[in-house]
Amino acid sequence: MAEEPLPGSPRAERPSSLEKTGERLRDRVEHARPLGAAHDDPRKQGHQGHGAHHAHGGHKGHEGHDKHAGHSAHMFRNRFWLSLALTLPILYFDMHFQEWFGYTAVQFPGVGWVQPVLSVILYFYGGWPFLEGALRELRARQPGMMTLIALAISVAFFYSLVVTFGVIEGMPLYWELATLILIMVLGHWIEMASVEGASRALEHLASLVPVSAHKLVGNRTEEVSVDALRAGDRILIRPGEQVPADGVVMDGASSVNEAFLTGESRPVPKEQGAEVVAGAVNGEGALTVEVKRTGDQTTLSQIQRLVAEAQASRSRFQNLADRAAGWLTYIAVGAGTLTFLAWLLLGFDLNFAITRTVTVLVMACPHALGLAIPLVIVNATAMSAKNGILVRNREAFERARDLKIVAFDKTGTLTEGKFGVRSVYTGGVAEEEALTLAAALEGRSEHPLGKAIVEEADARTLGVPDVRDFEVVAGKGVAGTVDGTRYRIGRPEWVNEGGLSLPPELQRGLDEAEGRGESVIAMMDEGRVLALFALADKVRGSAKEAVKRLKEAGVQPVMITGDAEAVAKTVAQELGIARYHARVLPENKARIVRELKQGGPTAFVGDGINDAPALLEADLGVAIGAGTNVAIESADLVLIEDDPLDVVRALRLSKATYSKMIQNLFWATGYNAVALPLAAGVAYAWGILLSPAVGAVFMSASTVIVAVNAVLLRRTRLA
């Protein structure tokens, strides 16, 4: 069964809206910069933390440089295990470890070279990602975690080699070099493994277009590659098939599912002259379409372009660990330089000054700093999963803590994306009898509106009679014979086309239903209209409670939908949402989110492909788990249970997580307030001088505190 809006009804402008969508998308792309342009000018790059979309070369940590270009969780995993294999013998042969644990290492000729040789391999293999990252940060003039790590391991490495070759006296720091590299590689492995895969959004978009099409050549069809289609070609789209290219219907009538583009769950009627877009799914009738746009010119490709642009240009928070590391880098270099000059000016020898400086520089990069954030993220992610929330971007916890606005897509998010019977208007028959007849006719239909009627009859446990001579009338509805009487059920326009008219009571019902933006189906026999069924998308059971709790938390709920004003107003009033935007075209959702962000940090919750740019534009993107893969891959958080209340739980968890991040960074770096001055020798006059070994105890204690504090996050109650 197919359905079309009545002239002048809230849905009557649907085809022109689609054409307008395609035109605006194409116009935007024609005037947009190339996909790579976002990377060309460092001044235009926003901050991006570890949750970056790796489809664009990795991870934008700062303006103008790509912090994790070419990096992956798999790479860090491999480097961790080999680094561990190199670290164990370095620790085994270290004099400090032998002294602390009371053992004597195996002795053999050349044993003294085991640590230096393994350290050289470890420095260049395990430490290479940090050395590369430091160069990028320094070129961008924004030192962060990579610079601090590279500084610490380089100082420890070269100092140890100089001592080993007897250039200066001292104790080599091979064990500190090894453990520092090992823990930092582990931290980055944990971190990247928790967020990798966000680049799949574009892959899912590409998968929507079929690989072949049925091209009409004369009186026959020929299966050709979609890439071979050209403007002007005519193609046949059979029932159930996806549209391979944008075009105009030349022959046939059907209903087409365009939810991927519009977000609206109702199929859109198509007949001669109507536009169809690539990726849409054809319904019950065959369509002959003349191709108008192919390849990069299709509307779907424009959405791909919008998603790619949003991924490339989306502003990012510079993550907390990087900010702390940046400051520690400046402090370490400044303190190290001051230490070196001070001891020389005080008349101490060069060896003493160098030793003090090296100790300061190495102590400035605590092992705990590399694990402070990843350990919290791992625990937060585990908690999220138990509560039906999948974390795709670790920055979500930093960005969600102070949200002021949460914008919801309507269809599939606040509503279920499936129709339900809201009202039944009858003329001359009982309501249950009308439902019984309608369910009998729609029982063999695949149309979602028809299914809603069948489900309503099932819910009322009504007995449904058999239907004979069932017939699908493309573009109109279905017909069949029940108990010897011929009935038709379909779009209201079919009433006039059949020479019938609506009685006054049904006309009032039609006006009332359309005033609420509901879809209407008419049922009639050969001589009169028997009933009208008003159907609407079902509001999710928990949506109203979620809106209420957001308001209580001081967060403003906003609804954004491509549906008509009447539909949007009805749903907004039912949920208690004061601010809403109706008739929003796909490419304008991101623009509205951008405008909302001027009022404070904004989250967007959606489920459709058309929501992907808005999910990326928002400070926090939340996807409904039952939505499209593209929406899920573009989001920071995914609500597995499709429950809007999980948005509230996610906000609570984000606040608790951010608090733990701050606490861990304090413990991971706070000891420097004591350790660095002692390492520099400020208490030397009182016989207190912090050696690297004692500094290691401080670092170990800091690491333990950070780990325990991260585990305590699990005590947070989200319900």
pLDDT in tens, 141-193: 878 778 878 887 888 899 889 889 988 887 788 888 888 888 878 877 876 66
Residue partners of 88: CB distance under 8 A and separation at least 6 = none
Residues 180 and 136 in one domain: yes
CATH number, domain at 262? Answer: 2.70.150.10
Q: Domain check: are 179 and 104 in the same one?
A: yes
Please state the pTM of the whole predicted model: 0.56
- Among the candidates 505, 521, 539, a domain finishes at 539
pLDDT of the residue at 629 = 60
Which of the listed residues 493, 522, 539 is the one where a domain comes to its end?
539
For residue 703 the two structure tokens come to 């690491």
Domain hosting 242: range is: 14-31+210-297
Asked if residue 524 is part of any domain, the answer here is yes
Position 271 pLDDT exceeds 60: yes
- Same structural domain, 91 and 184: yes
Higher pLDDT, 259 or 482: 482
475 assigned to some structural domain:
yes
* 402 catalytically annotated: no
By percentage, how much of the chain surpasses pLDDT 90? 21
Report which listed range, 8-17, 378-387, 602-611, is most confident.
602-611
Strand partners, 284: none
Q: Is the pLDDT of residue 324 over 60?
A: yes
Residue 116 lies in a domain: yes
The CA-based angle 398-401-402, given to 5 degrees, is: 120
Mean pLDDT for the chain?
78
- Position 400 in a domain: no
What pLDDT digit, counting tens, does each position of 586-635 carry? Answer: 778 989 999 999 999 999 998 776 788 888 889 888 887 655 566 666 77
At 567 the pLDDT is 84
Cα 137 off chain centre by? 26
Distance CA 125, CA 202 (A): 33
Give the per-residue SS3 of 259-281. HHHHCCCCCEEECCCCEECCCCE
Alpha carbon distance, N-terminus to C-terminus of the chain? 44
Per-residue pLDDT reduced to its tens digit, 400-459: 878 999 999 888 788 887 788 888 999 888 999 999 999 999 988 878 788 889 988 988
The answer, yes or no, to whether residue 698 has pLDDT greater than 80, is no
Note whether 178 and 220 are same-domain residues.
no
Q: Give the pLDDT confidence score for residue 336 in this predicted structure.
A: 85
Confidence of residue 43 (pLDDT cuts 50, 70, 90): very low
523 within some domain: yes
CB 646 within 8 A of CB 305: no
Q: In what order do the strands lie in the sheet with 602-606?
A: 389-391, 637-639, 620-624, 602-606, 405-409, 556-560, 579-581
Q: In this structure, what token pair is assigned to residue 137?
A: 């940060």
Half-sphere exposure of 587 (CA within 13 A, CB side): 23
Q: Using N-to-C axis directions, what is the helix angle for 299-313 and 14-31, rounded to 10°? A: 50
The answer as to whether 390 is a domain residue is: no
Q: What does the alpha-carbon distance between residue 213 and residue 291 come to, in Å, rounded to a whole number?
A: 11
Are 91 and 163 in the same domain?
yes
623 and 635 Cβ atoms separated by less than 8 Å: yes
Task: Give the type of residue at 236.
Answer: L
Answer yes or no: do 189 and 217 share one domain.
no
Residue whose pair of structure tokens reads 């050969």 in the numeric block = 526
* Coil/strand/helix, residue 212: strand
Number of domains in the chain: 3
pLDDT at residue 114 tops 90: yes
Are residues 112 and 24 part of one domain?
no
Per-residue confidence (pLDDT) for residue 291, from 0 to 100: 92
Decide: 456 and 538 in contact? Cβ < 8 Å: no
Same domain, 525 and 436: yes
Q: What is the pLDDT of residues 253-265, one digit of tens each?
A: 888 887 666 555 5
Residue at 556 is within a domain? no
Q: Which candidate, 199, 684, 609, places its Cα nearest to that of 393?
A: 199
Domain end among 507, 539, 571: 539
Q: What confidence category does residue 64 fall into, taking pLDDT thresholds of 50, 70 and 90?
A: very low
Task: For residues 191 and 267, state if they share a domain.
Answer: no
Which residues lie across from 622 on neighbouring strands? 605, 637
How high is the pLDDT of residue 302?
Answer: 64
CATH number of the domain enclosing 472: 3.40.1110.10
Q: What tokens appear for 474 in the block?
A: 């493309």
Are 32 and 309 in contact by the 8 Å Cβ rule? The answer is yes
pLDDT over threshold 60, residue 530: yes
pLDDT at residue 354 is higher than 60: yes
Q: Is the pLDDT of residue 117 over 90?
A: yes
The C-alpha angle with vertex 664 and arms to 663 and 666, in degrees rounded to 5, equals 65
The whole-number pLDDT of residue 310 equals 46
- Residues 677, 711, single domain; the answer is yes
Residue 293: name the closest of 17, 26, 20, 587 by CA. Answer: 26
- 83 lies in the same domain as 132: yes
Q: What is the pLDDT of residue 9?
A: 34
In a domain, 550, yes or no: no
For 280, list phi and psi in degrees, rounded to 5: -70, 155
With cut-offs at 50, 70 and 90, classify the pLDDT of residue 488: very high
Same-domain pairing of 331 and 467: no
Exactly one of 66, 409, 563, 642 is catalytic; which is it? 409
